[in-house]
Amino acid sequence: SIAILLYLVRKFKTPDHWYPSDLEKRARVDEYLSWQHVNIRGKGSKLFLTKVLLPIFTGQPLSPKKLEGVTEELNVVLKQFEEKFLQDKPFIAGSDVSLADLVALVELMQPVGAGYDLFEERPKLAEWRRRVEEAVGKQLFQEAHEGILNIQNL
Taking only the tens of pLDDT, the chain with its 154 residues reads 899 999 999 999 999 999 999 999 999 999 999 999 999 999 999 999 999 888 888 988 788 999 999 999 999 999 999 999 999 999 999 999 999 999 999 999 999 999 999 999 999 999 999 999 999 999 999 999 888 888 766 5
Q: Provide the residue ranges of all domains of the chain, joining segments of one domain with +.
A: 1-153
With beta carbons less than 8 A apart as the criterion, state whether 92 and 85 touch: yes
- pLDDT at site 141: 92
Do residues 98 and 85 lie in contact, with contact meaning Cβ atoms separated by under 8 Å?
no
| Cβ within 8 Å of residue 105, ≥6 positions away | 129, 132, 133
Give the predicted TM-score (pTM) of the model.
0.91
Pick the CATH number of 1-153 from 3.40.50.720, 1.20.1050.10, 3.30.460.80, 3.30.70.270: 1.20.1050.10
Q: Residue 34 contacts by C-beta under 8 Å, 6 or more apart in sequence?
A: none
